[in-house]
Amino acid sequence: MKKEDFIFTHNYDSSLEGCYRWESPSNIALVKYWGKSEDQIPKNSSISFTLKNCLTNTKLEFVKKKLKSQLFDFDIFFDGKLKLEFKPKVHVFLERIKKYCPYILEYKFTINTTNTFPHSSGIASSASGVSALALCIMSIEKSIGPSISEEFFYKKASFLARLGSGSACRSVKGSVNLWGAHKSFKTSSDLFSIDSPFKVNDVFMSYHDAVLLVDKGVKTVSSTAGHELMNDHLFGKKRFQTAQDNIEELSIILKNGNLDDFVRLVEKEALMLHGLMMTSDPSYILLKPKTLQIIEAIREFRLITKIPVCFTLDAGANVHVLFPDKNSVEVYNFIDSSLKLYCENNSYIKDCVGYGAKQL
C-alpha cells in the first residue's frame, strides 16, 4: 500500500456527534527501532511484544465546530485534569494526520485519558497514548464514511499512530508486531505495523515482562533527538543492516522457541541500542549504575539457575525482565529478593504479552 491509499476522500455527514473509547497497550521492542527518515519512516524493521497491563484508556468526544476553520479545537484531560502541557504534542499529531483524515477539522474534540501504569514512572506512554487516540479517530472515520474492512481499519490506525510516535504503530493489534519493510516478509511495511506474519511459538504467547522502575525522572535526551543522531552516526549503516539480519534471526527463534537464542539476541539488541547512544555525537548515557547492577544480577542468576530469563531496555534506565511463564514463580522470587531493591520505591510492574487494543 502507498501512503496515498490512506487519504480519506469520501463525502461524509459532518453533523454526526458522539464519543468513542479505546484502551491501547504499550509495547516493548525486541529488535529496536532507532533511526528514522522523514515522515516517521524507520531506518530498519523492528519486532515487539505487545503488553497486557500497561494501558492507556482514551475517550474522544467530538461535536461539530460552530465555525469552520483550519485551526484545531480540542481540550485534553489526563486523570480528569485539564493538561495544557499535553496540547502541543497532540497538535503536532493532528497536523500530521489531517491530510489523511480531513474530517478532523470539522469537529471540536474533548480527549479524556488515563494510564493504568503510574504517571512519570519512566514508562513511555506515547505508544499506548497515541495508538488509543488513533483508534478513536478511526472509529469516527468508520462511522461517517463508507464501510471499511477490519483490515483497513487497523492498518490505517497503525499508519496514523506511526505519524504520532513511531513505536505507537506496533500497539494497535496482535501480540507480536513487525514494523518496517523487510525482504523476507512481503506483507511488512514502513507505513504501518503488522501482526507477526509467521506462527509464533506458544512459549512466547504467555511470556512475562516485569518492568523494573529504576529511574522515574525525565529523560535527558528525547527519543526524537536520539533518532536524529542516527542520521550521521558512525555505525549507522552497519546498525541498520544488522537490525535487518536480527529480524530474520529473531523470526526463526520466535517460530522455533529456542530460548537460549532468544536471550542472546534480545540482550544484544538492548545493549546495541545503548551502545549507539553512547557513541552518538554528542554522546549520551541513559543507563544508571542500578541498571547495570540489575543486568549483572540477571546474568548471574541465569548462569546459576539455567533459567532463560533475560533483560531488554528502552530509551531509558528502566529494565524489562523477560521470562517464560513456566519459570515465573522462581523469577518473581528472584526479583523480590534481589532486584526490586534497585528500583525507585522498590516498585516494578508485572506485565506479560497481550493481544492489542480494545474498543470499550
- For ligand PMV, the binding residues (CB under 6 A) are 29, 32-34, 46, 126, 165-167, 223, 227, 273, 314-315
Cell of 305: 539457575
Closer CB to ligand PMV, 80 or 282, in the complex? 282
Closer CB to ligand PMV, 32 or 302, in the complex? 32
Shortest CB 218 distance to ligand PMV, Å: 14
Distance CA 279, CA 235 (A): 8
Phi, psi of 256 (to 5 degrees): -90, -15
CA distances from 141 to 71, 94, 147 (A): 19, 14, 9
Shortest CB 83 distance to ligand PMV, Å: 19
Count of other CB atoms within 10 angstroms of residue 296: 10
Long-range (24+ apart) CB contacts under 8 A made by 333-341 are: 334/301, 334/309, 335/210, 335/212, 338/297, 338/301, 339/212, 339/294, 339/297, 339/298, 340/212
Closer CB to ligand PMV, 27 or 139, in the complex? 27
Closer CB to ligand PMV, 113 or 167, in the complex? 167
Shortest CB 31 distance to ligand PMV, Å: 8
Instruction: Say which residues have a Cβ less than 8 Å from residue 83's Cβ, sequence separation at least 6.
Output: 76, 77
Shortest CB 228 distance to ligand PMV, Å: 10
Closer CB to ligand PMV, 155 or 227, in the complex? 227
Shortest CB 41 distance to ligand PMV, Å: 12
Closer CB to ligand PMV, 62 or 179, in the complex? 179
Is 21 within 8 Å of 57 (Cβ atoms)? yes
Strands 319-323 and 208-212: antiparallel
Is 56 within 8 Å of 132 (Cβ atoms)? yes
Closer CB to ligand PMV, 263 or 273, in the complex? 273
Cell of 68: 469552520
Pick the closest to residue 194 from 165, 224, 162, 239 (CA basis). 162
Shortest CB 46 distance to ligand PMV, Å: 4
Shortest CB 238 distance to ligand PMV, Å: 18
Shortest CB 87 distance to ligand PMV, Å: 19
Closer CB to ligand PMV, 46 or 189, in the complex? 46
Pick the closest to residue 322 from 49, 46, 111 (CA basis). 49
For the purposes of burial, counting CB atoms within 10 Å of the CB of 238, is it exposed (0-12), middle (13-18) or buried (19 or more)? exposed
